[in-house]
Structure 1
């Protein structure tokens, strides 16, 4: 028990005094949109940033008794946020933990789980929060959709032992649903938000959103809910919408019906990223502060991985659409967060978030620092946590990444992680690299077991 308490209270010394840590000599890109500053000290107390100022502004007396970490000009950025993951479809605890650990040591300090088996996700989130797992903090959603959505096999994977649509984390909603009770059940899972998925009309999307906000919980929705259009979803007041390619259905040439019956898309019409009808939608999103979880690079990945020619052609078409619409949204001033919606083999050394960031630069026209701000400040807005995450300022949670190289010059610098700090607790990338090297060095014995 004593060892566990020591682990959970890392900033308390043996005399009971709160320990402070000063990270000196940082080149700080703070996530506010300001340019990088050299020669900066970040003073961390009890897991929060107490002060950020030039090294010379800290006196010797002020740093007396403070642990000092000399960074020597290394680059510091806010912790990255993956705004779209699924870590339990179906539940696989060892895989989820390995994936989250890989992401964490790549600088991802928070993630948004967009509906899963919350029985498992809630326990993983608790373990990450209190430090039993080295993992990003997890903010998760309870799903709501129309009854006709629940023949989707994924809903069965995350409702094993129960009936899909009839559990608190995955509810079928109709005009007769007691919405105050439904939202209260979702809140009872300790979810951050309700996720509105599919097969609901605009009036029900608006009613769910209003009730969720009344009860103090956020609403995350697919960009098109079918039959609810993107415009109806945004007008309902949801906090974020997911999947840029779904926004195209605002200009559908026939009424939307169901998630399973999407209208055909005139890809050529939107290739220039300047469609007037979508421009009006983006203006409304900017006015309302609706965050776009673009998952823009997802289709490029699918196009590379599929062997089916028809699926590859569709993926390539949607890839071009995602790039065009995400770029148009960014130019219109819409806040974009960085979500991946995929979890590659955890043996991969770096998180898939890096691919989404590169896509925003290479395909959507952002500078590296602008893309990073989408993954920090934009991610914090998507979580409804911008008051404590997303920028490195006094009062914010001490979540940041120390890099050897300059990420404002090139995103390849993200692969030079030295330290990841979450809630003030420092973790060394070298520890993770040593673990990976030890696993790689293992060789099979004759009986199939492994030995170091």
Structure 2
């Protein structure tokens, strides 16, 4: 017998190899953009999909001891991917775990954390991966920005106990920085990417990108880095660029780009039509280079709704909302790949993840079909983190990350997203009813405490 401690319990661990489940009779939407496949069986062994075939081609008797799950009338899509989250600015472990739990039971099986206090994010990623907590798998970035950015109070929030700009997960970079060392430090956090954020010229953006790629890291960047314009960020080789609303600064018609905090005003009328020729040229380059747009298209609508009595803030947010929708639609028409990120504050009064709002926004405001939206939220999301060989589609060899819906997402996307029956992550089923039951019990307990 071993005297080693058992460690924390892992009730949400991936299914073990040899545990075979046949999800039978579903209409499968595989995430590639292909038409739905009715009457389909998905065979899962442990945490992997081992077969996807028509029901008539799969004999359950050939899988001795397998569990059979009847999904007649249901729809199966790949696990959803939120490509833009912030889980630890500032660090708050209970809130982060609650957000992640809400996301998982809302269909989100994977998320990109776009730079935070990686000491906590790394531990959340570990806890999710081994099954200590109910949460999506996490991929994350270490941030680099110009020294002038580090007067931002958020940099202090994520650097408690360390010096902002001088730690591996959030580094100030200038022309004198030893970039091979800086990137190696970022890589040492277990990040899969460097996020290029703000206050960096084009030449330095290109140098960081080249070194990150040399060391095997992806590069996720703001669409405009200030003073680097979107076209310069794309030309530098960034793998994805975030925030459609920042793309307007490709034109910089209203003033020079100096700092992230001193953005020129947005000419809403110029871009609202979604036909600006300079933006169209940028999108052509993005399409040719395979640069993914992390549009965060619905973000400004939430900001407007939360503006309260600040009419100026609300007006600015609504202007950005109009521009964001127009430019995301223009990008889609131009053939740019779009992933689905939210960049949303963790509003735990909401029972469903904000990613649902992003998907519906892309459909209703950006003229993407439900199949195209699902592809963006699955396959393209996986590509944005270099994980398309592991996840993002319902296909043999991929991780068994699945969402079972009771309604047809191609008929009514918003309603279907609220009809989740079960979320399967790495072969482990998570039933929506368990989440709703826990939430109701928590609400009753809270109400009883208030009246005591």
* TM-score category of the 2 structures, normalised to the smaller one: over 0.9
Q: What residue is the counterpart of 1:390 in the other structure? A: 392
Distance change (3 Å), C-alpha of 1:217 and 1:250: same
Q: What residue is the counterpart of 1:423 in the other structure? A: 426
Superimposed CA distance per residue, residues 319-370 of structure 1 (whole angstroms, 9 cap, x where no aligned partner): 1110111010000000001111013422311000011111111111112221
Contact conserved, 1:342 with 1:352, CA < 8 A, in 2? yes
Q: What residue is the counterpart of 1:330 in the other structure? A: 332
For residues 18-417 of structure 1, what are the structure 2 equivalents within 5 Å?
A: 18-253=18-253, 254-306=255-307, 307-411=309-413, 412-417=415-420
| Deviation of the 1:7 alpha carbon | 6.3
Contact conserved, 2:86 with 2:114, CA < 8 A, in 1? yes
| Deviation of the 1:192 alpha carbon | 1.2
Contact conserved, 2:209 with 2:236, CA < 8 A, in 1? yes
Q: What residue is the counterpart of 2:3 in the other structure? A: none
Superimposed CA distance per residue, residues 365-384 of structure 1 (whole angstroms, 9 cap, x where no aligned partner): 11222112111112111111
Contact conserved, 1:292 with 1:336, CA < 8 A, in 2? yes
| Deviation of the 1:276 alpha carbon | 0.6
Aligned CA RMSD, in angstroms, stands at: 1.6
Structure 1 regions of 5+ residues with no counterpart?
Answer: 13-17
| Deviation of the 1:437 alpha carbon | 1.1
Partner Cα separation in structure 1 for residue 117 and residue 205 of structure 2? 22
| Deviation of the 1:432 alpha carbon | 0.6
| Deviation of the 1:64 alpha carbon | 2.2
The alignment partner of 2:77 has SS state of strand
Q: What residue is the counterpart of 1:435 in the other structure? A: 438
| Deviation of the 1:61 alpha carbon | 3.9
Distance change (3 Å), C-alpha of 1:61 and 1:450: same
| Deviation of the 1:6 alpha carbon | 8.2
Distance change (3 Å), C-alpha of 1:450 and 1:133: farther
| Deviation of the 1:72 alpha carbon | 1.4
Partner Cα separation in structure 2 for residue 432 and residue 443 of structure 1? 16
Partner Cα separation in structure 2 for residue 37 and residue 71 of structure 1? 13
Larger displacement relative to structure 2 (152-161 or 371-380):
371-380
Contact conserved, 1:285 with 1:291, CA < 8 A, in 2? yes
Superimposed CA distance per residue, residues 78-132 of structure 1 (whole angstroms, 9 cap, x where no aligned partner): 0000000101110000000001100110000000101101111100010001111
Q: May I ask how many residue pairs the two structures share in their alignment?
A: 444
Superimposed CA distance per residue, residues 129-180 of structure 1 (whole angstroms, 9 cap, x where no aligned partner): 1111110001111000000000000000000111100000000001111111
| Deviation of the 1:3 alpha carbon | 9.3
Distance change (3 Å), C-alpha of 1:339 and 1:209: same
| Deviation of the 1:63 alpha carbon | 2.2
Candidates 3, 10, 16, aligned match of 1:11: 16
Contact conserved, 1:79 with 1:376, CA < 8 A, in 2? yes
The alignment partner of 1:260 has SS state of helix
The alignment partner of 2:286 has SS state of helix
Superimposed CA distance per residue, residues 405-438 of structure 1 (whole angstroms, 9 cap, x where no aligned partner): 1111111111111110011111111111110111
Distance change (3 Å), C-alpha of 1:60 and 1:420: closer
